[in-house]
A and B are shown apart, each in its own frame.
Chain A
Amino acid sequence: MTGNVQMPDLKNTSSKGSKILGVSSLVGFAVLVVLAFFLTDPDIRFHPETGEEFGQFDAVRLLYIHVPLISVTYLAFVICAIASAGYLIRRTLWWDSLAHSSAEVGTLTCALVLATGSIWGRPVWNTWWEWGDVRIMSTLILFLMFLGYLALRRAFESPQRAARPAAVVALIAVLDIPLINRSVEWWGNRTLHQKSTLSEFKIEDLTLFTLMFGILISLLVMTWLILHRFRIAWLEHIEFEQGVQTAIEERRQIDTKEKQR
C-alpha cells in the first residue's frame, strides 16, 4: 500500500515558490496591520435621535483578523475532509499528508479564531464567552474534535498506520458540524452574532478593502503554512521509510554473521 510510493528528492521544506509565498505573506501581513490599526477608522456611529455615540470603536479592528481567520479555518477543515476522502479512495500518502497538514494548520487558526473572538467579545458584547451562541459553540467543538484527531494521529508509532483511522475520524468530525450547528441553534436560540458582519457596521471603501485584503493575506499565510507542514509530513514519511530500510539492512547483516558462524 505504501512501500512503493515515489519519494521526490526533498532535502528541506523550502522551495523557491514557498519563499516567494512566505515573503509576500509577511509583507502582506505588515500592510494589513497598518491598514487595520492605523488607516481605517474606528467603528463609531451616532444614534439618529439621541445623537449618542455607539458602535464597536477600536475593537472593530480585531475583526480584520478574526473574520479572515474564520474563513481560512473552515477552508482548512474542508481541505482536510476532502483530503481524507481522497485518501480513502486513493490510499496514497500524498492525500494523507495533505489531510494531516491542513488539519494541523486549521486547528491552530481555529484556536486563534476563538482567542481573537473572545478578546473582541469582551468590549463589544461585554463577555468573554457566550454560551448558546451557535458559531462560538460550533467552533469550539470543532476545535476539540480536531485536538482529538491530532492526538489520535500521534498515538500511532508509524505515520502510515494512522492514515486510515485518521481519515475516518476527520470525515466524521466534519460531518458532525451541521448536527452540532442545528442542536446548538435550537438549544441556545439566541445568537449574538451579527447576521452578517459585513453589512452590520458601516462599510466604507477602505473598511471593505481591508477586510478583503485580510482574507487574501490569511489565505496566503494558510497556504504557506500548509505547504511547509505538508513537506514536513512528507519528510517524516521518508524518514520513517528510510529508518525501516536501515533497520532491515541491519537485521540482515546480523543474519549474515549468523550464517558465517
Chain B
Amino acid sequence: MTDIWLIARKDLKIEMRSRVLMNQVAPFALIILVLFGIALDADQKSLRNFASGLFWISVLLCALMAIARSMTIERDEGALVGLNLSGVDPSGVFLGKACAIAIQLLVLEVFLGVGIILLYGSEVEDLWLLISTGLFACIAVSALGTIFGFLASGLGVRETLLPILLLPLLLPLLIGATRAFDDALGIAAVNGWNWFAFVAGLTVILTGVGVAANYLIVEN
C-alpha cells in the first residue's frame, strides 16, 4: 500500500514539475477537438450529436500519450532497475503508476469536458452520470494501458506498439462510455445508467485482468 502511494505521488510530483501533460497533452487534446470540428465541416448542432464519441476518442489518444510519458520517466535514466532492486512488489509498481495515470487522465477529461461544452455546445443533463462514467472509464483505461505500456516500453517500439495492443481491447469501453455520455448529454434516448453499469463492470474486469497480467508478465 505504501509503495503504491509512494510511486503514484512521485509520478504526480514529476508531472507538477515538468508539466508535460499540462503543456503538451492538454493542448493536443484541444487541437483534436478543433480538428474534428474542421474536418467534419460541421456546425455546432451536428458536432453536438457527435460530442460524446469525439470526447472519448480524444481521451483515448491522450491516454496513449500519458502512458508513454509515464513509461519514459522510468526508462530514461534506468530508474526501473532501481525499482526492481528496491524489492518493491511488481504489483505495487503497476498500481502506483496506474493510479498516477488515472488521476492525470481525470484532469484531462475535465479539460476535454469543458472543451466540448464550449466548442460543441454540449449541454449536461445528468452530471452524476457524466462524472461516474468518466471516473470508471478512466480507471479501466489506466489499468489496461499501464500493463501494455510496460510491455511495449521494454521493446524500444513503445509508441507504435501500444495503440494496436490497447485500442482494440478498449472497444467495449469506448462503446459503453460513449452511450452513457449520449444520455448524460441528452444526445440519444438511451438508458445511460445501464451503460454506466456496463462500464463499471468492465472497469472491474479490466483492472483485475491488468493486475493478473502484470503478475504473469513482469519478470524483471
Contacts and interface: CB of A to CB of B under 8 A. Distances in A.
Contact of A180 (B151, B167, B172, B198): B172
B176 A155 contact: no
Contacts of A155: 152, 155, 157, 161
Contacts of B151: 152, 165, 169
Interface in B45-100: none
Interface string B167-182: 1110110011001000
A141 B213 contact: no
Interface in B146-201: 151-152, 155, 157, 161, 164-165, 167-169, 171-172, 175-176, 179, 195, 198
A156 interface: yes
A165 B161 CA distance: 13
B143 to A, nearest CB: 12
Contact of A179 (B157, B205, B216, B219): B205
Interface in A170-188: 172-173, 175-176, 179-180, 182-184, 186-187
A169 B217 CA distance: 10
A175 B208 CA distance: 12
Contacts of A145: 168-169
A176 B219 contact: no
A148 interface: yes
A88 B213 contact: no
Contacts of A183: 171-172, 175-176, 198
B202 interface: yes
Interface residues of B, number: 24
A164 B164 contact: no
Nearest to A188: B175
Interface in A9-38: none
Given A151-B161, A165-B217, A172 B169 contact: yes
B176 A172 contact: no
A82 interface: no
A215 to B, nearest CB: 28
A148 B175 contact: no
Contacts, number: 64
A155 B213 CA distance: 19
B209 interface: yes
B68 to A, nearest CB: 15
A232 interface: no
Nearest to B156: A155
Interface string A147-173: 110011001100000001101110011
Contacts of A147: 164
Contacts of A238: none
Contact of B216 (A88, A141, A152, A182): A88
A190 to B, nearest CB: 14
Nearest to B165: A148
Contacts of B169: 145, 172-173, 176
Contacts of A111: none
A20 B114 CA distance: 66
Given A179-B202, A183-B175, A183-B198, A164 B161 contact: no
A180 B173 CA distance: 9
Contacts of A88: 216
Which one of A164, A183, A184 has the highest number of Cβ atoms from chain B below 10 Å of its Cβ?
A183
A53 B151 CA distance: 57
Nearest to A178: B172
Nearest to B215: A168
Which are the 5 A-B pairs with shortest beta-carbon distances? A183-B172, A148-B164, A144-B168, A183-B175, A148-B165
26 contacts: A144-B164, A144-B168, A145-B168, A145-B169, A147-B164, A148-B164, A151-B161, A152-B151, A152-B161, A165-B151, A168-B213, A168-B216, A169-B165, A172-B209, A172-B213, A173-B168, A173-B169, A175-B209, A179-B172, A179-B205, A180-B172, A183-B198, A184-B172, A184-B175, A186-B198, A187-B179
